[in-house]
Amino acid sequence: MFGFFKKSGKTSTPADQQTDAPIEPVAPPPAEQAPIAETAVPPATLDAAPAAAPPAPASQPAVKRSWADRLKAGLARTRNQLGGGLSSLFGRRKIDEDLLEELESTLLMADCGIDATQHLIDQLRTRWKKDRLETADQLQQTLADGLVKMLAPLEQPLDVTTHKPFVIMLAGVNGSGKTTSIGKLAKWYQAQGKSVLLAAGDTFRAAAREQLQTWGERNGVAVIAQESGDPAAVMFDAVNAARARGIDVVLADTAGRLPTQLHLMEEIAKVRRVINKADPSAPHEVLLVLDSNIGQNALMQVKAFDKAIGVTGLVLTKLDGTAKGGVVAAISRQCPKPLRFIGVGEGIDDLQPFKAREFVDALFLPATQNQR
Amino acid sequence: MLGILEVYPNASVCGPNMLDNLSQRLSRVVKTLRGHARLTEDNIQEALREVRLALLEADVALPVVKDFIAGVKEKAVGQEVISSLTPGQALVGVVHKELTALMGGAHQGLDLAAQPPAVILMAGLQGAGKTTTTGKLGKLLRERMKKKVLAVSTDVYRPAAIAQLQTVAGQAGIEFFPSDVAQKPLDIAKAALDYARRHYFDVLLVDTAGRLAIDEIMMAEIKDLHAGIKPIETLFVVDAMLGQDAVNTARAFNEALPLTGVVLTKLDGDARGGAALSVRQVTGKPLKFAGVGEKLSGLEEFHPERMASRILGMGDILGLVEEARRGVDEEKAKAFAQKLKSGKGFDLNDFKEQIGQMRKMGGMSALMDKLPAQFAQAAGQLQGGMEEKTVGRIEGIINSMTPAERSKPELLKASRKRRIAAGAGVSVQEVNRLLNQFEQTQKMMKQFSKGGMQKMMRSMKGMLPGLR
């Protein structure tokens, strides 16, 4: 019986390549993107400032720092666990195998995964031996650098100016935060002066459409939806409507699905094909939304969705909890995809572009500075 | 900065599958163990490290892993190795047994022994699957336990959460108590309780908003809610895919609320579900149900031993057997066995029959899910969904043959093959490939009828790498 596993394995390879072919990440020139990102942050915070005036001293540096602050606040618990744990390890003693083992534990507990953890620890061990590092805090810098180096390739902001309408399709497992992320993304692009259209492609889950419509109302954004029906049809309508209305960015929601549900994976592949039919260059970005609470299964999710719809970017949500999101390191090692955004809070402004150095720095702040 | 493709030339082709099965891992260290009559502290050191890695890969939280390994070590040391087992297998046995024991004994159902209505409170993180589970639970209570069930949502935060429960309750055939986002959760719950009392409901299901365990305001809210409605069951809903943080979340919820049980959701995914062990260990509360699938009927009893196999990557063999039993027509199977015994050849009719049965068992993909990782890996080169199509094609080709050809495949020569290919709409090569596969299967069956199972297993070992 097992005979035809092998054979059909061979026959499926061409199909593999076919689905893989259109994946080619549209590597955006990061240099251009950076200024956009920076100028865009202040308006978003200014929006909120008049409403909740008192806490923010409205000086320029304060506004500039706000994103970093928010990130730090969001990652405070992560830091308590990881950074806090680390700095208590680092300060006190000489480097020995015990310290390395404790470091290994800490990284593992941050969901970094065995592969990435061992890679980092091996790096540390080599540096320790080669450069004759003496005290533990010298290791801290090495570890931070190692992490940044590992995550830096993921830092590729999304450039939505290449097409109009720029169609972004979101996918993910159930409960990863797709619809919530769409709301935040809509706000983010609006703050950059872009017009946004939402497509309610989750026709399966009860009230998913209403959830998106509520978000749409809050943002003053049009939502294309249909009474039940085929998600692909909704997408087709949405892309055409966006073209007719001269919309800049289309955010396409899809129903959550587990990669093991093959029929649903086929369905989402169809959604992608239909978007492509409505606009031959679309979707311009396929974002996979990952819950940072998820462990090593996140890797399987990236692989499975990549196979089905050609993932071009990731969104990591729910980083404001105690979860560390260390699985990004594992992803970077095993199936790197640009990490476009991270979600650090419940607020509508709490979705921000990923910056490897800031992310790692926030993790490494001493525990005493965590109060914010 | 370099584009991602330049840094990682294989960016779109993801790295190797890390889902190594525990017995596979152990087989690597087992060589050093060979020849030992009993497990000792020294000889299992390395093997235990492999167990540790396997558990970590399954997302069991590190502190839990450490405790567990210490426990296993104690149990395993001194254990005699039965002659038919390798020391590695003996160790896996100990690990599996321990894991099952830790995850709780027999299935524990819901406790509804309260003056009606029995209140059930659902709690958990955002996106854990509380609302869906509420619907599933309602359906189960209504259909299997013949209860009159009312559901109410106290999620006044997430847009359309209440509407979601309303729809789900409708699908589950249970009554829904309307609430409004302007109300306070406690007021909603109390009003629902009052309504349930006056209308003689047996069970009231209270769905809550997802919350982070560190969100003090929200945790205070659910504490109040709990104190206000005094539920007999407080179920903690956990995503089976949860990572290392499961311990922290579980601890916080357990400290804030007197939990009575845990529901593990999204078990139909391919996560190994180590979170189950973490949560069980931290809370000490029984895992009562497992959520599988999108449909509202997808709520099952929790089986500790299956979960243990799954965490270890050993596959859900028991589930497979059950499924097989359901799918296989026993009389046909008997007739088939008889035929094999009588020495008559295995022909294309039987081949087709076998394929049909496999299809009945939920198709290859469903089977593959339940296979131990080593088999699944061997079979895993095929692309998801492809196998289903392949099976359909094989059936098509066989259907294009005449009965005579089916029972005597050696009749098939070039011109017949051409006719069959045209009839099935495939190329002659594909017909040939099928015949090749058939021949292989036939060979296997011959061995089976001659030398029995053992011989066959041995020949399969040759085909599947990493199997010992």
Put simply, the answer to whether B158 touches A211 (Cβ < 8 Å) is yes
Identify the band that residue A62 occupies on the pLDDT scale cut at 50, 70 and 90: very low
Q: Which residues pair with B239 in a beta bridge?
A: B265
- Top pLDDT among A55 and B392 is at B392
Question: What percent of chain B has a predicted confidence (pLDDT) above 90?
Answer: 32
* Residues of chain B found within 8 Å of residue A8, distances taken between Cβ atoms: 382, 386-387, 390
The verdict on pTM exceeding 0.80 is: no
**Cβ contacts of residue B23 below 8 Å, gap of 6+?**
B88, B89, B92, B312, B314, B372, B374, B468
Inter-helix orientation angle A76-92/A356-364, to 10°: 60
Put simply, the answer to whether A174 touches B128 (Cβ < 8 Å) is no
Q: Tell me how far CA of residue B342 lies from CA of A108, A177, B345, in angstroms.
A: 58, 60, 9
Q: Which range has the worst mean pLDDT, A70-74, A351-355, B300-304?
A: A70-74
Shortest Cα distance, chain B CAs vs residue A300, angstroms:
8
What pLDDT was estimated at residue B132?
A: 93
> Where do runs of H (alpha helix) occur along B361-385?
363-370, 373-379
**Cβ contacts of residue B47 below 8 Å, gap of 6+?**
B26, B29, B30, B33, B87, B88, B91
- Distance of alpha carbon A113 from alpha carbon A311, whole angstroms: 21
Question: What percent of chain B has a predicted confidence (pLDDT) above 70?
Answer: 70
Whose CA is closest to B21, among B92, B106, B121, B111? Answer: B92
Write the single-letter amino acid at B237: V
Identify the band that residue A22 occupies on the pLDDT scale cut at 50, 70 and 90: very low
Q: If contacts are CB pairs under 8 Å, which of residues 298-337 in chain B contact chain A?
A: none
Q: At which residue do the structure tokens 């992803």 appear?
A: A331
Contacts 24+ apart (CB under 8 A), A37-46: A37/A157, A37/A353, A40/A188, A40/A191, A40/A192, A41/A66, A41/A67, A43/A191, A44/A187, A44/A188, A44/A191, A44/A349, A45/A349
What pLDDT was estimated at residue B28?
A: 60
- Distance of alpha carbon B194 from alpha carbon B183, whole angstroms: 16
> Where do runs of H (alpha helix) occur along B184-329?
185-198, 216-229, 246-256, 275-283, 304-311, 317-327
Mean pLDDT of A15-38: 38
What pLDDT was estimated at residue B25?
A: 59
What pLDDT was estimated at residue A11?
A: 38
3-state helix, strand, coil in chain B (%, to 5): 55, 10, 35
Q: Tell me how far CA of residue B462 lies from CA of B2, B373, B465, in angstroms.
A: 44, 17, 7
Exposed/middle/buried for B6, CB within 10 Å: 0-12, 13-18, 19+? Answer: exposed
Put simply, the answer to whether B12 touches A23 (Cβ < 8 Å) is yes
Shortest Cα distance, chain B CAs vs residue A30, angstroms:
7
Of B167, B365, B441, which has the smallest distance from its Cβ to A3's Cβ?
B441
* Residues of chain B found within 8 Å of residue A16, distances taken between Cβ atoms: 383
Identify the band that residue B22 occupies on the pLDDT scale cut at 50, 70 and 90: low
Please determine, for residue A18, whether its predicted confidence score (pLDDT) is greater than 50: no
Q: If contacts are CB pairs under 8 Å, which of residues 122-151 in chain B contact chain A?
A: 125-129, 131-132
Of A15, A211, A264, which has the smallest distance from its Cβ to B386's Cβ?
A15
Within 10 angstroms of residue A265's Cβ, the number of other Cβ atoms is: 21
Question: What percent of chain A has a predicted confidence (pLDDT) above 70?
Answer: 72
Please determine, for residue A31, whether its predicted confidence score (pLDDT) is greater than 50: no
User: Hey, CA dihedral for B434, B437, B439, B444, is it positive or negative?
Assistant: negative
Inter-helix orientation angle B62-76/A97-109, to 10°: 120
What pLDDT was estimated at residue B267?
A: 86
What pLDDT was estimated at residue B384?
A: 43
Identify the band that residue B8 occupies on the pLDDT scale cut at 50, 70 and 90: very low
Mean pLDDT of A38-52: 35
What pLDDT was estimated at residue B48?
A: 83
Please determine, for residue A121, whether its predicted confidence score (pLDDT) is greater than 80: yes
Q: If contacts are CB pairs under 8 Å, which of residues 412-451 in chain B contact chain A?
A: 433-434, 436-437, 440-441, 444
3-state secondary structure of A288: strand
What pLDDT was estimated at residue A366?
A: 44
- Distance of alpha carbon A183 from alpha carbon A217, whole angstroms: 10
Residue from A296, A309, A328 whose CB has the most chain B CBs within 10 Å, to mutate: A296
- Distance of alpha carbon B124 from alpha carbon B164, whole angstroms: 17
Instruction: Write down the mean pLDDT value for chain B.
Output: 78
The pairing of strands A196-199 and A313-317 is: unpaired
What pLDDT was estimated at residue A289?
A: 96
Exposed/middle/buried for B78, CB within 10 Å: 0-12, 13-18, 19+? Answer: exposed
User: Hey, CA dihedral for B57, B63, B67, B70, is it positive or negative?
Assistant: positive
Chain B residue closest to A28 (CA)?
B3
Q: For B324-356, how does the pLDDT look when each residue is reduced to its tens digit (9 = 90+)? A: 555 555 566 666 666 666 656 678 887 787 777
> Does B171 touch chain A if contact means CB atoms closer than 8 Å?
yes
Put simply, the answer to whether A9 touches B161 (Cβ < 8 Å) is no
What pLDDT was estimated at residue B10?
A: 33
Put simply, the answer to whether A334 touches B440 (Cβ < 8 Å) is no
Please give the radius of gyration of chain A, using alpha carbons only, rounded to the nearest integer. Answer: 22
- The complex scores an ipTM of 0.71
- Distance of alpha carbon B466 from alpha carbon B88, whole angstroms: 14
Put simply, the answer to whether A215 touches B159 (Cβ < 8 Å) is yes
What pLDDT was estimated at residue B110?
A: 85
- Distance of alpha carbon B65 from alpha carbon B146, whole angstroms: 41
- Distance of alpha carbon B229 from alpha carbon B118, whole angstroms: 10
Instruction: Write down the mean pLDDT value for chain A.
Output: 76
Tokens of A235: 């997408």
Of A215, A259, A334, which has the smallest distance from its Cβ to B270's Cβ?
A259
Identify the band that residue B250 occupies on the pLDDT scale cut at 50, 70 and 90: very high
